[in-house]
Every structure is written in structure tokens, then in C-alpha cells.
Structure 1
């Protein structure tokens, strides 16, 4: 972690904070849309929308320094610091719903990211800690390199990418890390319109 990490910034240039809903969207046209789960209740598998204009489902972030039942809202999140990501369903609030690394899929040769982790204390259960690293202004790559997990040594430091064009599963994939923008849910209509316009222009060209 950098000695003086910079705050994360969303697509509008505002600081990213805990407890607020955001969409994670590819920074470039043609890289697909946002992320979603197949379960309407408690998330498990995660997929990426194939269309640029499809936003998927919002996520929320929480830092490493909180307990399972203390969801702090409004704390600024910084680059290269450990955080949890999860889909904010009230039905799943106290059930396993955090993004987690695993299992290893031998057919694609990568560790798959699912939303079946249980949020816990630092050092607590499983590889649920991720970090954002800056690629350029308001664009980031998502990294698995936890500094607070005692049980993650067997999983290598890796960036998150998409390993299959067929079912578009997020996984640890250093060959093609996905460059992301963090979009506040309240800004989503403008962003969706802009992404749709880009997609239409690209299809004409």
C-alpha cells in the first residue's frame, strides 16, 4: 500500500465512500456492461452483462476495519486499501453475499469470483478482500492482494478480469485485467445514455 494513498473517485469526480450504491462498469466500449447475479435473493454466482449499455446490479463497498454487524456509511475509500464488495440486498444483509475468490475452475485455468463470501473481521473468513489500483484518472483495475487475510496465502496476487466470452465470469486474470469506472447509482441514467450512444456509434462505424 502506498504511504499516502489517494481517494478513489467515481465517474463524476466525487470521492467514493462506504455504504453508497455504485455500478462497476468497464472503462472502454466493447468490454461489456456491469455485473449481476443470477439469484433474486442471496447472490452466489457473478456474471458480466455482454452489452455495454446494460448496467447490471449496484454494489456497495466497506473497508476492512468494521465488524459484521456494523455497516459504516460515508467513510472515504482509498486506492490500494483492503475493502469488501457486495450486492446490497436487505434479504442478504447478514448472509454470505460478499465478493470472494473461489473456487478454482480448471476448465478455464483461473480462480472464479463469486458473491458467496461472508463479511467478517480483518483476518476473517476467506479471501473476500480486494483493492482498487489507479490506471488513470477515474479509471481503476481491481486487484486481489489482501493484507488482512490470514487464510489467502495459497491464492496468488492477481487482477480481476473476464475469463470467458461465453458466460462472462469475473476471475483472477493477470493476462487481461478489466479496467473499470465506479459510477454512483444516482448518476446512472446519464451514464447509461452515454454508453448507449457510444455503442450505437460503434455499430455504425
Structure 2
């Protein structure tokens, strides 16, 4: 009986702790929702929104990048919690929760347009954000993206578990930011984060 009570209490604590996380807000101060298209636009750097580009000697547009023009908003994206609950409340994107980010307005030669972190680039000594990730809580995915508060705006981080002998393992998060090459701004894991805002796509 005590064991059951402890389990129920722990489950309730985790559930309500997640429910208490602040919702992510777009530039119009509305809550970000699953299944809604958004632009992700870095605030600084003199360039535009998030898009795709072929830069690292690739014939396929696999690298997530920043549009070269300040006046371009980039490609449409959708954001989904890894563990989504039913109902309207489950559609709300909340801070510091594991997320899937997907380009919804384009097709590529990759298997999917879901963001992932590519293998280590030895030449550039950097991990880059690419597409071809998996949907949902797939064990082949080494980590997940999260949206965190950065002063009055937001930043995106990539979090993965540190290798350990026994659970629970610590989680290490790295900022998602800009890596500049040949005049292009590629999205990579960096010390300095992109500070971004989210703009809902107005269709038609």
C-alpha cells in the first residue's frame, strides 16, 4: 500500500510539475500550439528566418540555416511535444520540454524534414543541425530540442543524456546558434545561442 501511494504521489508530482511549465508565446503573445505553422526568426545577426541550405559540400539541402536576406522569414515549421496529451491543453508548447521541430512547407531529398543533430564535423569541429530526424520518442534519437526563456525572448537548445552506469542520467543541454561559413549562417550547437521569436504563418 505504501509503495502504491508513493508511486501515485510521484506520478502526480511529475504530471503537475510539467503542467506548471510556462507556455511558449509567439510575437503576438499567443501560446504556441502543436500543428500550427510558424516562422522561427533570430533577432540579431542581420539575416532572416530559419530555412534550408546546401553549404557543407552537399548536393542535397540538408543543413538548417538562416536566410541570407533580413527581409525573408524563412520556411514554415511545426513544433510538437514528444509526449503529447489529448485535448487543447496538450497542444500547448511549453518551455523546457522535449520537442520535435519539422519544416512543413518544403520537401527535401532527406527521409524527413524533422530537425536532428548531425554527426560531428571534424573539419569544422562542430555539430550541425540538419534534417532527417525521427518522429516521436524514438530510441535512435540521441537527444531532443527544447525552447527556453532567454531574457524577454527565447532560445533553442539541444539536450541529450550524459552516458552513465545507472538511471536516472544527467541531461546536458547545448545552445543552438550560428556558425558562419562562406557568407552563410548555418545552425549548429554553439556557446552563443540564437535569440529568436516565433511568428504564426498567416495563410491565404
- TM value normalised by structure 1: 0.71
- The residue that corresponds to 2:80 in the other structure is 62
1:35–1:46 CA contact under 8 A, matched in 2: yes
- The residue that corresponds to 1:85 in the other structure is 101
- The residue that corresponds to 2:188 in the other structure is 171
**Aligned partner (choices 126, 139, 146) of residue 124 of structure 1:** 139
SS in 1 for 2:147: strand
1:36–1:48 CA contact under 8 A, matched in 2: yes
- The residue that corresponds to 1:140 in the other structure is 154
Higher strand share: 2
- The residue that corresponds to 2:8 in the other structure is none
CA distance in 1, matches of 2:126, 2:106: 31
SS in 2 for 1:132: strand
CA distance in 1, matches of 2:143, 2:50: 17
Please state how far the C-alpha of 1:35 moved relative to its aligned partner: 1.6
1:98 aligns with 2:96: no
**Aligned partner (choices 18, 23, 47) of residue 65 of structure 2:** 47
User: With CA pairs under 8 Å and 6+ residues apart, which has the higher RCO, 1 or 2?
Assistant: 1
| 1:160/1:90 CA distance change after superposition, 3 Å | closer
User: Gaps spanning 5+ residues in structure 1: where?
Assistant: 67-71, 148-152, 188-205
CA distance in 1, matches of 2:73, 2:194: 15
Please state how far the C-alpha of 1:110 moved relative to its aligned partner: 1.2
CA deviations on 1:122-166 (whole Å, 9 max, x unpaired) are 2532236200111133x101011147xxxxx9x952000111143
Root-mean-square deviation (CA, aligned residues, Å) is 3.3
1:84–1:128 CA contact under 8 A, matched in 2: no
CA deviations on 1:149-189 (whole Å, 9 max, x unpaired) are xxxx9x95200011114331100001x211000111129xx
Please state how far the C-alpha of 1:91 moved relative to its aligned partner: 5.9
- The residue that corresponds to 2:48 in the other structure is 33
CA distance in 1, matches of 2:53, 2:179: 18
Please state how far the C-alpha of 1:31 moved relative to its aligned partner: 3.8
Count of matched residue positions in the alignment of Structure 1 and Structure 2: 170
CA distance in 1, matches of 2:107, 2:47: 28
CA distance in 2, matches of 1:32, 1:49: 6
- The residue that corresponds to 2:37 in the other structure is 21
- TM value normalised by structure 2: 0.71
